[in-house]
Amino acid sequence: MSNGSEQTNMVFLAGTLKLPPKVDDKVVKCLIDVGMKNAIPCGCYKDNKDGIADKLARYDQGDFIRVVAMLDPYGVKQADGSWRNGMSIKITQIKNDPPRRAQQKAQQQELTDDDIPF
């Protein structure tokens, strides 16, 4: 333990996804709707060994999600010498499972196959 006060940049977010997650080559990004007409952009890298990116990619628009994330503040020096500050939110855990759409679709497909009169 340290003698001074410890600070951590951890955040707990819960809300519905405003858009389907965007899957790129290295990153999966999403917008979590937190109410009051606000959405918070979050993301995670695909090279994470915990499988967070794969789990996030299985969500869809309107699904409820609960995440633990780390806030990563940054600053970018502009051409005029001023600084533009920003915040990156990187997901470290997803606390709930995505809906089981594939299983539901398979069950619906089985039901429709049985209805064919052969």
Q: Tell me, what's the pLDDT at 2?
A: 53
CATH number reported for the structural domain that contains residue 60 in this entry: 2.40.50.140
Q: Which residues contact 73 (CB under 8 A, 6 or more apart)?
A: 9, 85, 86, 87, 88
Q: Residue 8: which region, alpha, beta or left (left: phi > 0; alpha: psi -120 to 50)?
A: beta
User: Which pLDDT tens digits describe the chain residue by residue (118 residues)?
Assistant: 456 666 778 999 999 999 999 999 999 999 999 888 889 999 999 887 789 999 999 999 999 999 999 999 999 999 999 999 999 999 999 999 998 875 555 555 555 555 555 5
For 68, the domain range is: 10-114
Asked whether residue 1 is assigned to any structural domain, the reply reads: no
Q: Tell me, what's the pLDDT at 102?
A: 58
Asked whether residue 101 is assigned to any structural domain, the reply reads: yes
Asked whether residue 5 is assigned to any structural domain, the reply reads: no
Q: Tell me, what's the pLDDT at 11?
A: 92
Q: How many domains does the chain have?
A: 1
